[in-house]
Structures are given as structure tokens and as C-alpha cells.
């Protein structure tokens, strides 16, 4: 064999070696794709180490302990093998039988996200599966909880996410502030969630005080206020302690539970974040003119949600205040669920005032009412509007969209008397769609008949690229109607999005057959925007697991 040929073969045989920082960056993109990360652990030792670190940085973030109770039990079993010898001996003296095998990795050192309630639930699952009535008489659950919490807190190099909601009602929560590593653990928190409705014997209040003292770099803060209490009173101090808060959400469990004066103190505290705040989200909280003027001072605020908020009187601003109190937002959500308990929701006059404060910069608007005054504003005073989401409305009030430059339109008809998506109304909507529209979105309590969908698309002059449908059922006939429209318009539809709660009744083989006409058919889609009904909103779902008794 010639020397040149030998060298060429050696080049082909040699495996390329990626630098460790490149491997780490690649795997970070799979942070929320746990199955893929598990696969990467089998590549080689180096990839296994990085993938394992990511998997164990947030072991509870995607854990469904209701459907998969074994997962919680197994997590705790693994963490027990990581306990120091003295801690294991303490549990064995109480009567617990622990595995003696040593773990392959120091899993607690990777810990970055602490969901207190999820960890408590996992501990209770392990306790229920590994103790009988005799052992429960002499063993103490709080000992187990304290040892696990202490290990995770002390070994963590710094939490990036902390959810302080405690879900254990049978036991007093461990006071994490007693652990030596607590200040280091909370110093680097990026996102913090606090539920002030929790029954607190002082442990959560102590933890919040430590966070205020030690953590000044929180970027995202979500709070659930509930009545008056020591925790709720500390929220303004927490806000003021931050150097550059980007996203703030206040999600109340029920309207009226949080005193307007306390709500005002939180709004006032946001003045300390006027240079950094970009996203504000308020649910079922009191809003007044002063609140809006404070938000207007936040010059970098781009997104504002006011969902099921309430007022004591209409918010109207004088001409002079309109000139000085201008919101810089590009996305605005003003929704009020009429089946909700909010009686004094934001009035049409108040919503109109807020829209006018945002007119010069507003690009995306979600609202659940429309009247002639608002039509006039939308068609003449909001020059940059490209996305509009509306609940059921009379068709004549939508005529303005035909001359608009909208690229995204969402229509929701989820009331008990839904009739928007019948043949005649949808045919009228199709005739009104502007030629700039690229994404059309439907949300309907019931079904859309194929004839209704065909009527909409037949007269549609817009070359739709994305069609999102959230209905009760989606079948073969509807799929064929969408495919025919795309075929007749130069295969314009690039993606069909079908909501994850929609019942699918079509042959998967048909999807493959129609790929040349509709390249992407997403059958498990959850659209984060617009927020038309709260059951679609992941933030609301996660914050509403509240015990109000």
C-alpha cells in the first residue's frame, strides 16, 4: 500500500474531536428535550457528563407526579444515595432501609431549579411507598424533608429558578434559611415565583427575607398576592431590591382578595425598575389611573397584559396627561372573562384610554370587545397595528380590517351561543380579510363545518401562510378543504396548526399525502399569543393550584 493511500485512510478513520465548550453549547439547546438528552448520555463519557448535568439541573420542571408517581419516588431514591453518611445514618436509625450503592455522579451539585411544592410532593410519594404504619409512628417526615432540602441547598452552586409555593399541608415546611449554603444558593436566582396564599408558619417569610438581602439580579418575578400578610407586605421591598427586573407578573387567585392600597404599593415599587422592565402581566388585580401613569414611566415596557383586572371607576386621562403618559408597549392584552367572578372589570372607556396611551407604538392587540369608537381608533390612530385578536363580534364592526395592513388575525367564539363560525358569517369574514394577512387563527367552542371553512377560504384574497384552528373536532373533510385552498393558491399554506385539545379524526396517511400542499401539519399546537381564554395560558394554569380554604 502506498504511503499516500495509507495517509488518506488514516484521515478517514480519525474521529473529529469537539471542544468541550462546543459540546456544552450544543446540549444547552436541548435543555428542555429530556428524551434527546438521555440519548446523548450514551455517546461517550464527555457527552454523558454534560447531558447528565443538564438533566439534573431541573429534575422537577417537567415532572408530572399525578400521572407518573414512580418518577417522583425514583428521584428521591437517587437523592438519598447522595446524602452524606451522617444523614443516611440518621434516617437508618429512624428505621428506614436505604440503598447502599454509590451514585455515578454528584447529582445535587447540578441542581439549578427548585420547585418547593414539587419536591415536597415527590418526598411524600417516596414516604408513602417506603413506610408502613409502624415505621410512621417512630420516623419523622420532617427529618427526611430537612435532610434532602439541606443537601440540595448546600451543594447547589446557585439556583437560577425558585418556585416558593409550598404544597404540603400535613407538615411544617423546612426552614431553608437555617442551612449554611442558603445565601449562595439564592444569590444567582434568575426567575422567582412566590405564592402569598400559602399557609406560612414563618419559613417562607424567612426565605423571602433572605432573598431580598442576597439576591439583586432577579430578571423574572411572578407573585400571587392573597389578602394581607407578612409575605405580601415584603413584595415591594423585593422589587426595589432588584437591579434590573425584566418581567413582572402579578396573578391574583380571586379579584378583590388583594387590597387596592397594597396593589398600589406594588405598582409604586415598579418605579425602581423603569429602565429595565419590558414585560408586565396583571391578572385579577386593582388598576387605576396612577397605576397606568407608573407603567408609562417604564420606557422600555413592550408587553402589557391586563386580564380580568378590576376598577372602582372609569380611568380617563386629561389631554395634558395623554401627552405625558404614553405607554411604549408593542403588545397589549385587555381581556375580561365574563363567566369569571370579576364584577367590576375594566370598562370600555378604561380600555379605550389604555389603547390610546399605546397608539403610537402598538403592534399587537388582543381585546374582547369592539364598538364604533374603537373601530375609529383602530382604523385611523394606530398606524403600526399588524396583529389583532378579538372575541365574538358583529361582522359589520370588522369591516375596517379589509383596508388594514394586518398580518395576523385571531377570532375567538367560545360563548355558549357560538354562531360566528357558521357558513354565512365566515363567508363574510373571508371577504374582509386583507391581502397582507399571513396568519389566520380560529378558536371555537364547537366544530367548524367543512362548508363553513370552504365559504371562508373561497372568497379569501389573502395568501395565508399559517392557519391555526382550535375546535372540538378536526376531520378528513376539513383537512381536504384547507389542502384545496392551498393548492389553488400556489401552495401558499406552509403550516396548519391544530390545537392540542382538538379531537383528531383523520387518517395520518392523508397528512403524508398532502405534505406537498401543506408542508407542516402541527397536531399538538399551543399558541402563546393571543391569550383569548385563560385555559390556554400556561402561566395561569401553573399559578392557580391554590388552596383557598
Claim to verify: residue 518 and residue 457 sit in the same structural domain: yes
Kindly state whether residue 490 falls inside one of the protein's structural domains.
yes
Kindly state whether residue 444 falls inside one of the protein's structural domains.
yes
Of the pLDDT bands very low, low, confident and very high (cuts 50, 70, 90), residue 97 is: confident
Claim to verify: residue 40 and residue 121 sit in the same structural domain: no
d(CA 407, CA 476): 28
- What's the number of domains the chain is made of? 2
Q: Model pTM? A: 0.85
Kindly state whether residue 341 falls inside one of the protein's structural domains.
no
Claim to verify: residue 135 and residue 24 sit in the same structural domain: no
d(CA 164, CA 211): 11
Give residue 544's pLDDT. Answer: 41
Kindly state whether residue 329 falls inside one of the protein's structural domains.
no
Helix (H, G, I), strand (E, B) or coil at 475: strand
Q: Are 350 and 311 in contact (CB under 8 A)?
A: yes
Claim to verify: residue 132 and residue 37 sit in the same structural domain: no
Claim to verify: residue 491 and residue 453 sit in the same structural domain: yes
Share of the chain above pLDDT 90, in %: 41
Kindly state whether residue 253 falls inside one of the protein's structural domains.
yes
* Model pLDDT for residues 475-524, shown as the tens digit of each residue: 889 999 999 999 998 889 999 998 887 888 888 888 888 888 999 988 87
Q: Is the confidence at residue 206, as pLDDT, over 50?
A: yes
Q: How many CA atoms lie within 13 A of 462 on its CB side?
A: 27
* Model pLDDT for residues 244-266, shown as the tens digit of each residue: 999 999 987 665 556 667 788 88
Ranges assigned E (strand) in 406-462: 408-413, 439-444
Q: Indicate if the alpha-carbon torsion angle 171, 176, 180, 185 is positive or negative.
A: positive
Claim to verify: residue 400 and residue 481 sit in the same structural domain: yes
Q: Are 230 and 203 in contact (CB under 8 A)?
A: no
Kindly state whether residue 433 falls inside one of the protein's structural domains.
yes
Kindly state whether residue 37 falls inside one of the protein's structural domains.
yes
Kindly state whether residue 322 falls inside one of the protein's structural domains.
no
Of the pLDDT bands very low, low, confident and very high (cuts 50, 70, 90), residue 22 is: confident
Claim to verify: residue 185 and residue 230 sit in the same structural domain: yes
Residue in this structure with the C-alpha cell 399605546, named with its chain if needed: 358
Claim to verify: residue 130 and residue 231 sit in the same structural domain: yes
Mean pLDDT of the chain: 83
Structural domain ending residue among the three candidates 7, 30, 53:
53
For the chain, helix (H) and strand (E) counts, in that order, are 22, 17
Structural domain ending residue among the three candidates 53, 69, 97:
53
Claim to verify: residue 39 and residue 159 sit in the same structural domain: no
d(CA 393, CA 397): 7
Claim to verify: residue 163 and residue 45 sit in the same structural domain: no
Of the pLDDT bands very low, low, confident and very high (cuts 50, 70, 90), residue 382 is: very high
Claim to verify: residue 431 and residue 488 sit in the same structural domain: yes
Claim to verify: residue 205 and residue 194 sit in the same structural domain: yes
Domain that holds residue 31: 20-53
Q: Is the confidence at residue 540, as pLDDT, over 50?
A: no
Cα-based angle 193, 198, 203 (whole degrees, multiple of 5):
85
Amino acid at each position: 500500500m502506498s504511503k499516500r493511500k495509507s495517509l488518506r485512510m488514516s484521515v478517514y478513520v480519525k474521529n473529529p474531536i469537539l471542544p468541550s465548550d462546543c459540546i456544552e453549547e450544543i446540549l444547552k439547546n436541548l435543555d428542555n428535550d429530556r428524551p434527546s438528552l438521555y440519548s446523548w448520555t450514551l455517546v461517550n463519557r464527555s457527552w454523558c457528563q454534560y447531558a447528565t448535568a443538564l438533566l439534573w439541573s431541573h429534575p422537577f420542571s417537567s415532572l408530572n407526579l399525578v400521572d407518573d408517581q414512580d418518577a417522583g419516588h425514583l428521584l428521591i431514591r437517587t437523592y438519598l444515595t447522595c446524602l452524606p453518611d451522617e444523614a443516611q445514618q440518621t434516617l437508618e436509625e429512624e428505621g428506614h432501609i436505604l440503598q447502599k450503592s454509590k451514585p455515578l455522579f454528584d447529582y445535587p451539585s447540578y441542581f439549578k431549579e427548585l420547585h418547593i411544592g414539587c419536591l415536597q410532593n415527590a418526598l411524600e410519594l417516596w414516604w408513602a411507598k417506603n413506610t408502613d404504619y409502624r415505621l410512621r409512628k417512630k420516623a419523622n417526615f420532617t427529618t427526611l424533608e430537612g435532610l434532602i432540602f439541606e443537601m440540595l441547598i448546600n451543594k447547589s452552586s446557585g439556583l437560577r429558578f425558585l418556585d416558593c409555593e409550598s404544597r404540603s399541608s400535613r407538615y411544617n415546611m423546612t426552614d431553608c434559611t437555617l442551612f449554611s449554603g442558603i445565601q449562595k444558593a439564592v444569590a444567582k436566582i434568575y426567575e422567582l415565583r412566590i405564592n402569598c396564599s400559602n399557609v406560612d408558619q414563618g419559613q417562607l417569610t424567612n426565605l423571602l427575607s433572605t432573598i431580598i438581602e442576597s439576591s439583586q439580579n432577579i430578571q423574572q418575578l411572578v407573585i400571587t398576592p392573597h389578602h394581607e400578610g407578612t409575605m405580601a407586605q415584603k413584595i415591594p421591598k423585593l422589587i426595589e431590591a432588584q437591579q434590573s427586573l425584566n418581567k413582572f407578573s402579578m396573578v391574583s387567585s380571586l379579584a378583590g382578595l388583594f387590597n387596592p392600597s397594597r396593589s398600589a404599593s406594588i405598582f409604586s415599587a415598579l418605579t425602581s425598575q423603569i429602565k429595565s422592565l419590558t414585560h408586565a402581566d396583571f391578572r385579577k388585580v386593582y388598576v387605576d389611573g396612577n397605576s397606568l401613569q407608573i407603567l408609562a414611566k417604564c420606557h422600555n415596557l413592550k408587553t402589557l397584559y391586563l386580564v380580568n383586572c378590576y376598577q372602582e371607576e372609569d380611568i380617563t386621562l386629561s389631554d395634558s396627561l395623554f401627552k405625558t403618559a404614553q405607554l411604549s408597549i408593542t403588545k397589549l392584552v385587555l381581556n375580561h372573562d365574563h363567566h369569571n367572578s370579576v364584577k367590576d372589570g375594566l370598562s370600555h372607556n378604561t380600555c379605550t384610554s389604555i389603547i390610546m396611551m399605546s397608539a403610537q407604538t402598538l403592534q399587537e392587540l388582543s381585546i374582547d370587545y369592539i364598538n364604533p369608537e374603537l373601530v375609529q381608533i383602530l382604523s385611523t390612530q394606530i398606524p403600526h397595528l399588524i396583529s389583532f385578536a378579538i372575541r365574538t363580534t358583529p361582522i359589520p364592526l370588522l369591516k375596517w380590517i379589509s383596508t388594514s395592513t394586518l398580518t395576523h388575525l385571531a377570532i375567538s367564539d367560545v360563548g355558549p351561543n357560538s354562531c360566528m363560525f357558521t357558513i354565512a358569517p365566515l363567508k363574510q369574514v373571508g371577504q374582509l380579510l386583507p391581502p397582507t394577512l399571513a396568519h389566520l387563527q380560529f378558536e371555537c367552542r364547537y366544530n367548524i363545518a367543512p362548508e363553513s371553512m370552504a365559504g371562508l377560504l373561497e372568497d379569501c384574497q389573502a395568501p395565508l401562510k399559517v392557519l391555526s384552528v382550535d375546535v372540538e373536532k378536526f376531520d378528513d373533510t376539513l383537512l381536504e378543504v384547507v389542502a384545496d385552498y392551498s393548492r389553488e393558491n400556489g401552495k401558499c399554506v406552509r403550516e396548519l396548526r391544530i390545537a392540542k385539545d382538538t379531537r383528531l379524526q383523520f387518517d395520518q396517511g392523508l397528512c403524508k399525502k398532502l405534505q406537498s400542499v401543506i408542508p407542516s401539519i402541527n397536531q399538538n399546537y399551543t399558541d402563546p399569543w393571543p391569550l383569548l381564554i385563560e385555559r390556554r395560558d400556561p402561566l395561569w394554569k401553573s399559578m392557580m393550584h391554590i388552596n383557598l380554604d
